[in-house]
Structure 1
Amino acid sequence: MPTNAVGPARPTYPGVYVEELPSSSRTISAVTTSVTAFVGHTRRGPLNEPVRVTGFAEFERRFGGLGSQSAVAYAVHQFFAGGGSAAVIVRVAKAGSGKAACVVLESTEGRSENRVLDVHAKEPGVWGNGLRVAVDYDTPHPDETFNLRVYDAKGDARESFTGLSMDSGHGRYAPTVINAGSRLIRVEAVGEGRPDPSGTVSKPFGDELPNLEVDLTVKIGDVEREFRLYDPDYDGEVPCSVAELALLLERKLRALPDAPGKHAFAGAEVTPFGRRIQVVAGSTDPEDVVRFLGECANDLGLEASVNPPVFPLEGGEDGAAPGPRDLIGSEADKTGIQALRGVADVNLLSLPELASYEKTEDMLTVVSAAQRLCEERRIFLLVDAPSTWVSVDTARAGVAAFDAVRGNHAALYFPHIQLTDPLTGRLRAFPPSGAIAGVIARTDSERGVWKAPAGTEARLVGVHSLTVDLTDRESGLLNPLGVNCLRTFPLTGPLVWGARTLQGSDALDSEWKYVPVRRLALHVEESLQRGLQWVVFEPNDESLWQQIRLSASSYLHTLFRQGAFKGSTPREAYFVKCDHETTTAEDIAGGVVNVLVGIAPVRPAEFVIVRIQQTSGQFAL
């Protein structure tokens, strides 16, 4: 039985022939709904480069975790705690601020001391001051290549690059290998020769080892110790190779008493390479330099090259918090929020730093630019109320300023939330957009994008309280103005109690009044736009129109069955029209096919009115 036939089978015997034919229908897949972009200041991370993270642990690795001056970090933390599963982070800093930590590695091979390799932290920030690099020559070609390791502030090895060369024609050219593979550092060749190894490196031993029955004095930092290198009564056979000598010396060093709290002797490493040995203290403290003192050490060649156990990166400076222009960024350079233009799946946008702006005009400038981006990229913006809104009266007085930016691709939330700061253990106020993004992600996952992210199910996970406790009456003053209120109710605690867009003011009477209606439309638009890409360059005729109607109707029917649309039948819930009426002969001549899609979204039950009537008489039981 042919399984992939492309044409009719050629019959050769009487019987039934079965062929598999490709389906003419094409599936439209639903796109993501709650991937949230956070743009602003973080402790570390690549500048103006969108990075996708799927948990707060990954955010900590890439962007340094929580920082007292990073509203974005706390927002991301609240997002994942509240139910979020994927986020896109764009680190932004004030233009011209910030500096990457660095160290210059030098070489003394066969020439006067000179710079050979500049090592910089991958990104600007104080975080880079905790990085350390170590160099050794323990490679298959110890006279030509080297290894480089990167440590963090805790002394843990984070990255290792082996068999490196400073020859630009070599397959393991150090700048090429490190810059392509490291997440922590970048390097630049600035001279000739290899960087000197870490620790103390001996001179080359001859074909035979010298007399090892000598007393040595070693000093690491401020601690000085004496020991016998080889004692025939205790150390067995005398070492006859450089490798055996390295093992003996390492064992002797590790047996020496350390300074209190130190691990310099106990963790000492002695590495053989070629006819030489390298001695490194078991510490990542640059002050713990291994020094062998006296004539015996000189006779053994242990004073040839003395360096610290690691080379510390220094001079890193955090960038200042971004201003309005930095956040808006440049479309040409893809900076600030404009960096999101190259990201395919972003559905929500949070800018938590705006709430702390002293000037409302600066905040509105960024909100206006963000809304333009959201309209172009089908993103929904979560706007935090200014931190100066400390009461219902200040909110009512300040909301008039938002009349200039009342778009339907954004929603405004008030008041701020209060949580225990993990860094201090104290209660602290935060902009709510990160927590609200988590609520939206959780609601989308459990109910669907058409469900309003508000109500008793929209609890703010981990939130202790709100900066302003609103009553029903006070909420009733703000809700008609398009302000989504956060409320605290008995038993349920803090939750979202509003689902209007910025265009949801009663005075505007917009068809995009509600958040779920707007977000459902964006979801449908994006799914259809991607799912109908195959139409391009197909013959523009009735056959194509029929396939479009079939694909789009199948997708919309799936949403209808899930409860996305109102109506008891598909005809009442949606329609797809693509025929000679939508696509005229003139359109066909111009290479245009028009598809008309209509949906009947479910609007939230914002006001529930209960009528109670007294009756007289008795009910029969």
Structure 2
Amino acid sequence: MPTHAVSAAKPTYPGVYVEELPSSARTISTVTTSVTAFVGHTRRGPLNEPVRITSFAEFERRFGGLSSQSAVGYAVHQFFGNGGTVAVVVRVAKARSGKAACVTLESTEGHSECPVLEVHAKEPGVWGNGLRVAVDYDTPHCDETFNLRVYDARGGAREAFTGLSMDASHGRYAPTVINSGSRLIRVEAVGEGRPDPSGTVSKPFGHELPDLAVDLTVKIGEVEREFTLYDPDCDGEAPCNVTELAQLLERKLRALPDAPGKHAFAGVEVTAFGRRVQVVAGSTDPEDVVRFLGECANDLGLEASVNGPVFPLEGGEDGDPPGPRDLIGNEADKSGIQALRGEDDINLLALPELAAYESVEDMVTVVSAAQRLCQERRIFLLVDAPSTWVSVDSARAGLAAFEPVRGNHAGLYFPHLQLTDPLTGRLRSFPPSGAVAGVFARTDAERGVWKAPAGTEARLAGVHSLTVKLTDRENGLLNPLGLNCLRTFPMVGPLVWGARTLEGSDALDSEWKYVPVRRLALHVEESLHRGLQWVVFEPNDENLWQQIRLSASSYLHNLFRQGAFKGGTPREAYFVKCDHDTTTDEDIANGVVNVLVGIAPVKPAEFVIVKIQQTSGQFEL
């Protein structure tokens, strides 16, 4: 345990002196094991940008939730439903497809209508057509600044930006403030002047208000109503300023009957700013324009500017689903799966869209690129069986296509899952990678990364059934080929019943045959890689080697105590060697220190053989 250094005590009298010294031991922290990356098409979200989320509710806010066109949405839903805790989502769309919704706000302050501010949805997609923008001048400097509010009519999100200016030298310059703070929109100044306010804005009232005891006719949308603005017998004292006038007008309008199912009158907002009032219908329907009709309304100046309650964004288009090249992406611009290169703490990768590819060759091409990334970043890839594998025979025949990608950084899972689609309430088949990733996360949390994410504890929550029901004999045909089977057992239900890597076929006889062995090694490698960063630029001598041995051994001993390794003693479970045998004089001259670490991983008990012998005679207990 590290201690704090204090100044050395100077002995001045006979006795015992205590001095604290800093510890030379450096600890190696364990890294994450089950953060899962999902790459593919979503309803919305930033393109080619990894976003870390911790719940499906957060996925709904950032990426628009479930969509019948998005396998990623369902996979994330199943991941969290099966015990997943942290996911990283990368939205990918076909290159040069999709369009962001937009609206151009105009200004009539200069008595000539001209565009001043373009408002675009933050990301491309149809989702942006549900955005609504409202503008008002209710600010401390109502002649110069404005407020802008954004509503997502479909998702419910709201944002407000106050005290904005169209002056680029102002501290609240609208494009700067909005573009840095909004998750819904981005804006661009295209002219001079402030955007007109939404709703109906009056002309400036004088210092003395006109006679308010008048009958007015108001029309919101297609609904027309009449009312008396001020009745001395019912309304008490007459308003003496614009603020009181706004309160009276709002109360009168809200009391008027609405059309069935509407909230246009009941939710009216009347705001006073300067010497004017702004009347906005209680609706996000752009057609609910507030109009005051007749001579009395003209005398009061209630129609200086008339707009809808909100300005709707339009023209958003979804991008086409990504193809193989889009998913693979480009390392230079970090698109597709290459966007994960700059992201730390990713342990699993799922590409649920691949299972629906008509061409198995395209699928294998993406898997090959994904495996290269996984090898470089110490990630394990979860591969879904193609949707065309609808029987044991088709699976056995189709496995030949995966021969070029039989690596040990991936596992292949078959068959697909049957779940109730939350959008339709009907059973649908889904690729299993999302649910399997959740099982990995749950197993890691409960037992450790060295425990095979399979067996009776690896239940698939929320799964109704499997698209192919396998028998023991059929499972016995597929397991030796390195194909992880999903099974259904009585009293337990659907579960994961295989823990081999793609390199785990019996014919290959690989030392990385089992998923938990491969993942434990990746975990150890990444932990040591990060935990030994302090070694760089230290003097390369026996003192350094001793500290490395101490740090690495302490870390491995902790894993040994948790049951990660086989062997009854630490000597049987692991070793760390860093001395003159591993680091020669030539290595020292070249600035190299070599550390040799060996571990004895626990392999899963794939075959449990019970031998029963019949005997005669009696047993005495």
Interval of TM-score (by shorter of Structure 1 and Structure 2): over 0.9
Cα shift readout 1:543-575 (whole Å, capped 9, x = no counterpart) = 000000000000000000000000000000000
Contact 1:155 1:284 in 2 (8 A): no
1:112: which partner in 2? 112
CA distance in 2, matches of 1:4, 1:478: 59
Whole-Å separation in 1 of the counterparts to 2:253 and 2:344: 57
CA distance in 1, matches of 2:346, 2:481: 28
Q: How does 1:166-181 map to 2 (within 5 A)?
A: 166-181=166-181
Query: Structure 2 matches for 1:247-326, cutoff 5 A?
Result: 247-326=247-326
**Cα distance in 1, alignment partners of residues 406 and 505 from structure 2:** 9
Task: Determine the structure 1 residue equivalent to 2:590.
Answer: 590
Cα deviation 1:109-145 (Å, max 9, x = unaligned): 0231010000011111111111101000000000000
Secondary structure of the 1:240 match is coil
Cα displacement (A) at 1:9: 1.9
Instruction: Please give the secondary structure, in 1, of the residue aligned with 2:233.
Output: coil
Deviations along 1:74-94, whole A, 9 cap, x unmatched? 000000000000000000011
C-alpha distance in structure 1 between counterparts of 2:272 and 2:323, whole Å: 54
Give the distance between the partners of 1:7 and 1:620, measured in 2 at CA.
73
Is 1:134 matched up with 2:134? yes
1:166-210 per-residue CA deviation (whole Å, 9 max, x = no partner) reads: 000000000000000000000000111000000000011111111
| Shift in Å, 1:345 | 0.5
2:191 alignment partner in structure 1: 191
Query: Quick one: distance in 2 between partners of 1:476 and 1:347?
Result: 29
Q: What is the Cα deviation at residue 36 of structure 1?
A: 0.2
Q: For 1:342 and 1:356, locate their aligned partners in 2 and report how far apart those are by CA, in whole Å.
A: 28
Cα pair 2:540 2:588 within 8 Å, conserved: yes
Residues 507/5 of structure 1: CA separation in 2 closer, same or farther (3 Å cut): closer
* Residue equivalent to 2:401: 401
3-state SS of the aligned residue for 2:117?
A: strand
Q: Supply the distance in 2 between the matched residues of 1:610 and 1:156 (Cα, whole angstroms).
A: 59
Contact 1:149 1:157 in 2 (8 A): no
Q: Which amino acid letter does the alignment assign opposite residue 90 of structure 1?
A: V
Deviation at 1:4, TM superposition (A): 4.8
Deviation at 1:157, TM superposition (A): 6.2
SS of the aligned residue for 2:104 comes to: strand
Contact 1:453–1:496 (8 Å) recurs in 2: yes
Where 1:261 maps in the other structure, the secondary structure is coil
Which residue pairs with 2:159 in the alignment? 159
User: Does the Cα contact within 8 Å between 2:133 and 2:310 map onto a contact in 1?
Assistant: yes
Deviation digits for residues 354-377 of structure 1 (CA, Å, limit 9, x no counterpart): 000000000000000000000000
Distance 1:4 1:552, change over 3 A: closer
Q: Equivalent residue for 2:65?
A: 65
Moved more, 475-484 or 228-237: 228-237
Alignment deviations for residues 522-548 of structure 1 (CA, whole Å, 9 cap, x no partner):
000000000000000000000000000
Deviations 1:228-256 (A, max 9, x none): 11111111111110001001111110111
The alignment's TM-score, normalised by the length of structure 2, stands at 0.99
Q: CA offsets per residue over residues 557-609 of structure 1, 9 Å max, x none?
A: 00000000000000000000000110111111100000000000000011111
Matched, 1:88 2:79: no
Report what 1:445 is aligned to: 445
Aligned partner of residue 29 in structure 2, secondary structure: coil
Whole-angstrom CA distance in 2 between matches of 1:414 and 1:259: 55
Could you report, residue by residue, the CA deviation over 1:446-492 in whole angstroms, capped at 9, with x for unpaired residues? 00000000111111111110000001110111111100000111111
Q: Secondary structure at the residue paired with 2:555?
A: helix
- Equivalent in the alignment of 2:125: 125
Distance in 1 separating the partners of 2:507 and 2:5: 63
Indicate the residue corresponding to 1:428 in structure 2.
428
Code of the residue aligned with 2:110 in structure 1: it is G
Provide the secondary structure at the position in 1 that maps to 2:230.
coil
CA 1:268/1:497 → structure 2, altered by over 3 Å: closer, same or farther?
same
Q: Which moved more, 1:13-22 or 1:387-396?
A: 13-22
Q: Partner residue of 2:541?
A: 541
> 2:4, 2:547 → 1: CA distance?
22
C-alpha separation between the residues in 1 aligned to 2:154 and 2:211? 39
Letter in 2 for 1:464: H
Partner residue of 1:204? 204
Residue aligning to 2:478: 478
Secondary structure at the counterpart of residue 537 of structure 2: coil
SS state of the match for residue 233, structure 1? helix
Residue 29 of structure 2: aligned partner: 29
Pairwise CA distance, 1:11 = 2.6
1:518 is aligned to 2:514: no
- Corresponding position of 1:9: 9
Query: Is the CA contact (8 Å cut-off) linking 1:215 and 1:226 kept in structure 2?
Result: yes
Equivalent-residue separation in structure 1 for 2:577 and 2:307 (angstroms): 77
Q: Which amino acid in the other structure matches residue 426 of structure 2? A: R
In structure 2, the partner of 1:237 is 237
Quote the offset at 1:6 in angstroms: 5.0
One-letter amino acid matched to 1:501: T
Change (3 A) 1:342 1:270: same
Contact 2:469 2:488 in 1 (8 A): yes
* Cα separation, partners in 2 of 1:571 and 1:5, compared to 1, 3 Å: closer
Change (3 A) 1:552 1:157: closer
**CA RMSD of superposed structures (Å):** 1.1
CA–CA distance in 2 between the matches of 1:276 and 1:387? 64
CA contact (8 A) 1:329 1:338 kept: yes
Q: Which amino acid aligns with 1:418?
A: Q
CA distance in 1, matches of 2:9, 2:333: 57
Alpha-carbon distance in 1 for matches of 2:59, 2:109: 42
Structure 2 contact 486–495 (Cα < 8 Å) conserved = yes
Tell me if 1:384 matches 2:384. Answer: yes
Conservation of the 8 A alpha-carbon contact between 2:61 and 2:155: no
Q: Does 1:224 align with 2:228?
A: no
How much does 1:215 deviate?
Answer: 1.0
Q: Distance in 1 between matches of 2:4 and 2:84?
A: 43
Distance of 1:496 and 1:303 partners within structure 2: 68
Give 1:549-588 correspondences, 5 Å limit: 549-588=549-588
| Conserved? CA contact 2:81–2:462, under 8 Å | yes
Show structure 1 runs of 5+ residues with no match: none
Question: Is the 2:5–2:22 contact (alpha carbons within 8 Å) kept by the matching residues of 1?
Answer: no
Paired with 1:28 and 1:561, the residues of 2 have a C-alpha distance of: 16
Partner of 1:382: helix, strand, or coil? Answer: strand
Task: Give the Cα separation in 2 of the matches to 1:5 and 1:573.
Answer: 36
- Aligned in 2, Cα 1:157/1:247: closer, same or farther, shift over 3 Å? farther
Cα distance per residue 1:368-404 (max 9 Å; x no partner) = 0000000000000000000000000000000011010
User: What TM-score comes out, normalization by structure 1 length?
Assistant: 0.99
In structure 2, list runs of 5 or more residues that go unmatched: none
- Residue 529 of structure 1: SS of its match in structure 2? helix
Following the alignment from structure 1 to structure 2, what is the Cα–Cα distance between the partners of residues 557 and 213?
Answer: 88
AA paired with 1:10?
Answer: K
Shift of 1:612: 1.3
Distance in 1, matches of 2:610 and 2:56, equals 44
Distance 2:5 2:114 in 1: 70
- How far residue 5 of structure 1 moved from its aligned partner, in angstroms, is 3.9
* SS of residue paired to 1:234: helix
| Stretch of structure 1 that moved more, 156-165 or 569-578 | 156-165
CA 154–66 in structure 1, closer or farther in 2 if over 3 Å, else same:
closer
State the distance in 1 between where 2:155 and 2:535 align. Answer: 57
Question: In the aligned structure 2, how far is the partner of 1:129 from the partner of 1:153?
Answer: 9
| Percentage of identical aligned residues | 87
| C-alpha distance in 1 between matches for 2:269 and 2:19 | 70
Contact 1:155 1:283 in 2 (8 A): no
